[in-house]
Structure 1
Amino acid sequence: MGRGRVQLKRIENKINRQVTFSKRRSGLLKKAHEISVLCDAQVALMVFSSKGKLFEYATESCMERILERYERYSFTEIQCATDEIQQNGNWTWEHAKLKARMETLQRNLRYPQWLQISNTFKNQLMVESISELQKKDKELQEQNNILAKKLKEKEKTNVEQAHWQLNNNCQDSSSMLLPLNISSNGREKEDNETTNSGVLLPWMIRHHLE
């Protein structure tokens, strides 16, 4: 069975890390030389150790010339990318203008519909306002009816209390006048007796003369 893929991670042991760096660096420089010779390619390789030490390889020892070529290529690539971005920006601007114009035309075409929707919305608001006012009016009428009922009940109670008080006053007055009437009747009786005893009526005088 073949070995599984080994996960690459930092070697914690310092000595093992230095040994591995030395071996891999030598192998990398060897591979760079091989591809330069075998494929007639210009190769520039730079490796810095963890301590900052530089190890490099360049085809025919022309590192500076390869770096200058790299800078020219990088500048050209950046310039092309900038031009493409500007061109894309112009296209984006044109697209934005066309899109805005198209939206304006569509909005103008839909204007009657939007106007109808706006009017419908206004009508709906008016209907809702009228319904709300009618509801408040109904509540006020109910409150007025309740208050009127309470007032009638209060008036009825006041009238009943007034009648009751008037009846009591009349009964008190009758009880106070009764002794006076009795004494008055007795006095009239005495007067009648006195009259009868001291005064003769005309028919009685004629009777005595005969």
Structure 2
Amino acid sequence: MVRGKVEMKRIENATSRQVTFSKRRNGVLKKAYELSVLCDAEVAVIIFSQKGRLYEFASSEMPKIMDRYRKCTIDANNNNTKFDRQLQLQQSRLEAESINKKMELMQLSHGKLLGYGLDNCSLDELQVLDAQLQRSLFQIRARKAQLYKEQIQQLQEKEKLLWEENRILSLKAAAKGGAATHGCRSSSSSLVDTQLSI
């Protein structure tokens, strides 16, 4: 009789699950024993049931195998760490080289924009530089014009405020001059002259 393929998912029925656990646990332990005998391998199997019971098999002493396992995992982690560090170091070197090349190119380009090292440039390169400088000049002049416009607006607003202050002071002076004429005409006229001259 041929068995059908078992679907790999949790068995919902608790009794069936317990029976399957017992059978398969015994099968795993038996296979571990066979592997250790047939291949002269050190084998350790640890199984915890759902209720927390421990089932184990070891071809030699379990603590000795566990110590060996821990040592191997620590060594493997150290090797992985060394490999990761080497990879990071290599990537850092490549990035540094790339940045150095970019900096050299930028320095050359900057020097050409300042007019240095133009002897080796072809006509096409010089035309490209000329176009770049024209664009830069256009942007600089546009920004300069904008700043001038903003300054002119600020000065015009300031001028309006000063005219308004001057008008208010003139009205106050005229009002003081009018009040003084009711009391004494000769002294008030001199007072008005003095205020106006100030």
Alignment of 1:123-134 (within 5 A): 123-125=137-139
Letter in 2 for 1:8: M
| Partner SS, residue 7 of structure 2 | coil
Report the RMSD for the aligned CA atoms in angstroms: 2.7
Return the alpha-carbon distance in structure 2 between the equivalents of residues 5 and 124 of structure 1: 77
Gaps of 5+ in 2: 113-124, 144-198
Which residue number corresponds to residue 30 of structure 1? 30
Distance 1:116 1:46, change over 3 A: farther
| Partner SS, residue 68 of structure 2 | helix
Which residue number corresponds to residue 66 of structure 2? 67
Distance 1:16 1:4, change over 3 A: closer
Q: TM-score, normalised by structure 2?
A: 0.56
Which residue number corresponds to residue 87 of structure 1? 86
Q: 1:3, CA displacement in angstroms?
A: 6.7
Alignment of 1:21-60 (within 5 A): 21-60=21-60
Return the alpha-carbon distance in structure 1 between the equivalents of residues 54 and 3 of structure 2: 34
Higher helix share: 1
Which residue number corresponds to residue 101 of structure 1? 100
User: Percent identity of the aligned residues?
Assistant: 36
| Partner SS, residue 57 of structure 1 | strand
Distance 1:116 1:49, change over 3 A: farther
Residue-by-residue CA offset, 1:87-138 (whole Å, 9 max, x unaligned)? 2222222222111111112223334378645423235558989xxxxxxxxx
Q: 1:52, CA displacement in angstroms?
A: 1.1
Residue-by-residue CA offset, 1:160-196 (whole Å, 9 max, x unaligned)? xxxxxxxxxxxxxxxxxxxxxxxxxxxxxxxxxxxxx
Q: 1:85, CA displacement in angstroms?
A: 1.9
Alignment of 1:1-210 (within 5 A): 5-60=5-60, 62-111=61-110, 112=112, 116-125=130-139
Larger radius of gyration: 1
Which moved further from structure 2: 97-106 or 41-50? 97-106
